[in-house]
Amino acid sequence: MKKLMVCTCFLFAAQSMLAQETITISKDVLKDKIKGGWAGQTIGVTFGGPYEFLFQGTFIGDYQPLFWNDDLVKTNMLDNAGLYDDLYMDLTFVDVFEKYGFNAPVDSFANAFANAGYKLWHANQAGRYNILSGIKPPQSGAWQNNPHADCIDYQIESDFAGLMSPGMPNTASAISDKIGHIMNYGDGWYGGIYVGAMYALAFTSNDINHVVNKALETVPAQSEFYQCMRDVIEWHKKYPHDWKQTWLNVQQKWANDIGCPEGVFAPFNIDAKVNAAYVVTGLLYGGGDFTKSLEITTRCGQDADCNPSTAGGILGVVLGYDKIPGYWKKGLRQAEDIDFKYTTMSLNDVYEVGYKHALQNIERNGGKVNAGNVIIAVQQPVAVKFEKSFDGQYPVATTPVKWNANKDELSFDFEGIGFALKGDASKWDSKSTYVFNTELYLDGKLIETPKLPVSFTTRRNELAWKYELPKGKHTVKMKILNPSKDHEIGTAEAIIYSDKPVDGMQVNINAAKK
């Protein structure tokens, strides 16, 4: 039953009083869908785990079987708990909502995230380092302070925002505006906006094409993220039975990473939009079939555990827990009472907490909770603000970098408008509290005094970077003020940026002529 009602939305300053449609669903259905979302994530990440980043710049061929058995979830929960970072990262933020309520300030989320005991990478680790160094959100995720701003990180953590916002994609976006900028910006943030919106819309539609298309309205059309998703949608229409052709088109048009230092000039790609394209590929070509969608998403490669986790979670909401095929749930049920590492929550716990938060959020946003059902004031998606990472910055070359004989100073020259110096001081399991104190000079002027912890959990992901410099010749020098006999700082190369891309073939031809 549907009817019209009037409510006031306070999600964005641009929104005013709007007549909103409502939808009524039973509490049992709502809870079943929330369970399906959390269960689907867990199944998906477990299924894709063995293939994570083993297939870079290629898909997993049909001849290679993908493995699953009934013991896989429980075994990984007990012996490979780090696989579930997609889940325990979400639960960090769920726990803050549970402890401090819906009005918890962003600092509560940022501090819980930064001081958690788990290991982090890419945008997450850069965001953590920034917060621990006094750089607060949203600047902790901004690309000038975070070379991984466009990486996948918030995209794989945003599930909770949609799961607690049934039928309310703009409410999910408002949550993600606060939390997603802890570690991401631009396309990296849009990945979380889009995923949150797909989850929210999956509560009110079982048409996966509708969910994929409608959720995209939350993303600004001028962004590359939007354009990439729109391409995938159009390629699916053009090649409705050939997901590999769509994959090839994504690779050809969108696979050149310009930000993440590990992904520039490399087949490795943790960019949010490319991996989101694989999620959408799996959802569209899977056609609502849980098994087929997980398989296609996993076979797309790159972040092959996080992507099926996202696809599985969205489909878990569409289908509901009860309709996820029993083949996948047999093993899940053995693990539903096991706490995720770094948390005090199991799946059975988060089913209940997630349901409670969804009910609260429905009421906060103009809906009603009755004895046996809920009335949701459904929202028409509104695009969030436009922002672009690495605007006008183009990687054009790398240059080798080495420490001097005493290993207390390095320097290199480059011509361009920016650089990112790869390397760090950490060791994987280092428990040392030692911190290198350094000075960074640009063209003879001290511009920063980076602190480089040797601890892996508090490390700086890159040694140094600077963008948006005046175009021309520059000299970078880094000095270690407190050398250590027990520790060292590793580095290999710097990525050089200019104000326009180069024609790689032409550069090679010119080099050959010389």
Choose one of 322, 345, 377: the last residue of a domain.
377
**What's phi and psi for 215, nearest 5 deg?**
-60, -30
Q: Are residues 333 and 440 in the same domain?
A: no
Amino acid identity at 368: K
Amino acid identity at 264: V
Task: Answer whether residue 126 is part of any domain.
Answer: no
Choose one of 377, 409, 427: the last residue of a domain.
377
Q: Are residues 336 and 464 in the same domain?
A: no
Query: How far apart are alpha carbons 410 and 480 in whole angstroms?
Result: 9
Q: Are residues 323 and 465 in the same domain?
A: no
Name residue, tokens 């990439």.
228
Query: How far apart are alpha carbons 273 and 250 in whole angstroms?
Result: 10
Query: Can you give the pLDDT at residue 62?
Result: 95
Task: Answer whether residue 345 is part of any domain.
Answer: yes
Sign of CA dihedral 69, 75, 77, 80: negative
Task: Answer whether residue 472 is part of any domain.
Answer: yes
Give 104's strand partners: none
Q: Which residues in 136-208 belong to E strands, given as ranges?
A: none
Query: How far apart are alpha carbons 495 and 512 in whole angstroms?
Result: 22
Query: Can you give the pLDDT at residue 303?
Result: 97
SS3 category, 190: helix
Task: Answer whether residue 411 is part of any domain.
Answer: yes
Task: Answer whether residue 36 is part of any domain.
Answer: yes
Query: How far apart are alpha carbons 138 and 385 in whole angstroms?
Result: 14
- Termini Cα distance of the chain: 75
Query: How far apart are alpha carbons 65 and 348 in whole angstroms?
Result: 31
Asked whether 171 and 200 are in contact (CB, 8 A), the reply is yes
Question: pLDDT for 439-484, tens place per residue?
Answer: 999 999 999 999 999 999 999 999 999 999 999 999 999 999 999 9
Query: Can you give the pLDDT at residue 502?
Result: 86
Question: pLDDT for 107-133, tens place per residue?
Answer: 999 999 999 999 999 999 999 999 999
Query: How far apart are alpha carbons 9 and 108 in whole angstroms?
Result: 24
Query: How far apart are alpha carbons 428 and 250 in whole angstroms?
Result: 34
Q: Are residues 343 and 316 in the same domain?
A: yes
What is the mean pLDDT of each successive set of 10 residues along the chain, which is 514 residues long?
34 42 97 98 98 96 95 96 95 98 98 96 98 98 98 98 98 98 98 98 98 98 98 98 98 97 97 98 98 98 98 98 96 95 97 98 98 97 98 97 93 98 90 95 98 96 98 98 94 96 60 44
Query: How far apart are alpha carbons 227 and 175 in whole angstroms?
Result: 24
Asked whether 288 and 210 are in contact (CB, 8 A), the reply is no
Give 294's strand partners: none
Query: How far apart are alpha carbons 40 and 315 in whole angstroms?
Result: 7
Angle at 213 between CA 212 and CA 218, to 5 degrees: 95
Give 440's strand partners: 448, 478
Query: How far apart are alpha carbons 273 and 412 in whole angstroms?
Result: 33
Q: Are residues 347 and 258 in the same domain?
A: yes
Closest by alpha carbon to 107, among 176, 182, 158?
182
Query: Can you give the pLDDT at residue 504?
Result: 62
SS3 category, 203: coil
CATH code assigned at 287: 1.10.4080
Query: How far apart are alpha carbons 106 and 316 in whole angstroms?
Result: 29
Q: Are residues 200 and 347 in the same domain?
A: yes
Q: Are residues 336 and 459 in the same domain?
A: no
Query: How far apart are alpha carbons 276 and 311 in whole angstroms?
Result: 9
Q: List strands edge to edge, sheet with 394-400.
A: 394-400, 490-498, 418-424, 464-466
Q: Number of folded domains in the chain?
A: 2
DSSP notation for 227-247: HHHHHHHHHHHHSTT-HHHHH
Q: Are residues 291 and 355 in the same domain?
A: yes
Query: How far apart are alpha carbons 77 and 95 in whole angstroms?
Result: 20
Query: How far apart are alpha carbons 393 and 416 in whole angstroms?
Result: 10
Asked whether 440 and 449 are in contact (CB, 8 A), the reply is yes
Task: Answer whether residue 182 is part of any domain.
Answer: no
Choose one of 344, 377, 410: the last residue of a domain.
377
Largest CA distance in the chain: 80
Amino acid identity at 502: V
Q: Are residues 166 and 27 in the same domain?
A: yes
Query: How far apart are alpha carbons 357 and 98 in whole angstroms?
Result: 8
Task: Answer whether residue 446 is part of any domain.
Answer: yes
Query: How far apart are alpha carbons 142 and 123 in whole angstroms?
Result: 10
CATH code assigned at 402: 2.60.120
Q: For the whole model, what pTM was predicted?
A: 0.94
Can you read off the two tokens belonging to residue 194?
Answer: 């889009």
Which run of H or of E encompasses 437? strand 435-442
How far is C-alpha 387 from the geometric centre of its chain's CA atoms? 16
* Domain that includes residue 484, residue range: 394-513
Q: Are residues 447 and 485 in the same domain?
A: yes
Strands 490-498 and 464-466 turn out to be: unpaired
Amino acid identity at 76: N
Asked whether 22 and 378 are in contact (CB, 8 A), the reply is yes
Task: Answer whether residue 108 is part of any domain.
Answer: no
Name residue, tokens 């703009």.
170
Q: Are residues 165 and 301 in the same domain?
A: yes
C-alpha distances out from residue 57 to 26, 278, 328, 394, Å: 45, 12, 29, 21
Asked whether 22 and 1 are in contact (CB, 8 A), the reply is no
Q: Are residues 342 and 410 in the same domain?
A: no
Closest by alpha carbon to 163, among 60, 283, 16, 39?
39
